[in-house]
Structures are given as structure tokens and as C-alpha cells.
Amino acid sequence: MKYDLNLLPTFLVLMEERNVTRAAERLGITQPALSNALNRLREMLRDPLFIRERYGMQPTEMARELAPAIAAALASIDEIVLGQQEFDPAKADRLITIAPNSYVEFALIPAIVTRLRELAPGIKLRLIPFGTDLAETGVMSGSTAMVLGRFPDPPDNLVVQHLLDETLACVVRADHPEVGDSISREQYERMKHVNMLPPGRLRVGLFQALERQGLKRDVAVSVTHFLAIPEMVAVTDYCSTLPQLICRRLARDPRLKVLPSPVDLGGFPVEMAWHTRYRHDPAHRWLRSLIIDVAREVAAGTA
């Protein structure tokens, strides 16, 4: 039987999104075009594949059984075909989708974009949100090139590369009336705090570190992005406990000052993960190498 391989990536995106509108957006096609592709998939595989329900499209049993095999087959084809291709970053014209968590987007992406502009100006990055669900990012199917964050329990079809190790520090306003060049444990516990909600794994790590040290924190406000923190801390007597690379960026703001945490709160790894289908893709390999180099330079303070 003949199979239209062009339809298989569409199948995988539908498996992840369970929604025609979102799947069409990810694939860069119209909804009618996606519906047409789905009808052809149903004909080709002789199964409804997805059933419309109140809260989205649910895959049939056959679709669930096919998904891992199709993902593995596409990965094998990519390894063979892409591995044969040469890659010249200076001449490349390519859009690459990546999913950094909010920490990586703030701390590393500007330096990565700067390096791309210098070495591969034709490569464009499309950033999509990465919370705690890897499947939603598209990395599980390979439709998203890579994710950057922290991956304690990665699935078997993802390769994880360590980028750097982070530690934590505190940020207060520069003219804080009670805090000089350091924060004592008593001051830290007496102060109000600004808490950063995402990314989820980092949030758990900080809470656990505070608990291990028996350090109390009175959270006055929780925010959803690092960019909200400097504006809030600069006009209050609040404190925020943040990764060192974030603090290094905020230290450039004359309204703020960065201080060591009153106790050792430990640290956390920052990682990059990608689908095994990209293992031998020359462009992907080059981008991974660039990100590794940039991350090390940023961590060392040389980028």
C-alpha cells in the first residue's frame, strides 16, 4: 500500500494539539487545508483517527497505537536524509522553532540571537512558551527543534545536553532603608518578597531549598515573568530571590542591588533537549553547538 509521507507530520501535530485551529497554526497552514489533510489521513489509514468531543478531538485506539511508530519512522528518515546534507550557516535561510522557559528567554536568548546575527543572519528563531508539559511544546514529535530549561525525567526519545549550573541570589532596591551590603537571615524572614511563579520546576526547587534550610519567606506578590520583578522591587522594600544570571542582568539597573542569599540555597541545572530525529541534522547540530558555547560564555561573564 502507498503512503503519503507528507501527511504523517500532520498526524503527529494533531496528536499533540487535539485541536484543528492550534494544529493549523503550528503547521503554518489554513484550517481548511488541515481538514483536507485529515480527511486524506483517514482514507489512507482507514480509520477516523480523531473524534470530535466537547473539549477537543480525542484520538482513536488505532491513532494511539500508530503515533509512536510514525514518530520513530520519521525520525529514522530524518537521520538518514539530513545527515547527508551539508550546512553553511552564513548562507542558511531557515526558520527554527525553539521553546525556552522564561528563565532561558531572559538570561540566554539575547546572547544567542546576537551570535546568530553575526554568524547566520538568515536563520530566524520562533520562540514558543515552555511550561511544564513537554508534549505541548511539540518537542515530543520533533515539530519543535529544541526546548531549553530543566528536564529531570526526560522521555526516551529526547536527548538532553547540560548547559550550565545556576545558583540563587537576592535583589532589593539600591536605597533600601534596612539592607546594606548583605541580608541577614532575620532580615530575609522579616521582609516581604516578590515570588516568581514560572518555570514550574524552578519554583519547586526554590521552595524545597528554602524548606531544607528552614528559611521562611513572606510572599507579598507572585508574578509570571522576570520582567515584572525589577519594576516592583525598585519602588518597594520587597526582596526577590532569583537565579544569578537574572540578577547579573538586573544589577545593571541603578535602582537595584544584588546581594548573596542569607544561606546557601544550592542551585539547579540548565539544560537543552531535542528529539532524537535531529541527532544528525547538520543545521541542528550547528545550532546546538552555538547554544552550548553561548551558555558557557554567559555563565563565565564573557558574553
Nearest to 269 by CA among 139, 103, 138, 141: 103
pLDDT at 154: 83
Query: Cα 285 from chain centroid?
Result: 18
Domain presence at residue 233 = no
Domain presence at residue 235 = no
How much is the pTM?
0.72
pLDDT at 79: 63
Domain presence at residue 52 = yes
Q: Collect contacts of 34-41 with beta carbons under 8 A, ≥24 apart.
A: 34/10, 37/7, 37/10, 38/10, 38/14, 40/4, 40/7, 41/7, 41/10, 41/11
> Residue 44 sits in which domain range?
5-83
Q: How many angstroms separate the most distant Cα atoms in the chain?
A: 77
Give the CATH number for residue 14.
Answer: 1.10.10.10
Domain count, the chain: 1
Domain presence at residue 117 = no
pLDDT at 85: 62
Q: Which residue shows C-alpha cell 544589577?
A: 251
Domain presence at residue 34 = yes
Domain presence at residue 23 = yes
pLDDT at 200: 47
How large is the C-alpha radius of gyration of the chain?
A: 23
pLDDT at 251: 93
Question: pLDDT truncated to tens, each residue of the chain (303 aa)?
Answer: 567 778 888 898 888 888 888 888 888 888 898 899 999 999 999 999 999 887 778 999 999 898 888 887 777 776 666 555 678 999 998 889 999 998 999 999 999 999 999 999 999 999 988 866 676 777 877 778 899 998 888 888 889 999 999 999 999 999 999 999 999 999 999 999 999 886 544 555 678 888 889 999 999 999 988 889 999 999 999 999 999 999 999 999 999 999 999 999 988 899 999 988 788 788 899 999 999 999 999 999 887
Domain presence at residue 56 = yes
Domain presence at residue 128 = no
- Integer angstrom CA distances of residue 129 from 100, 225, 259: 7, 12, 30
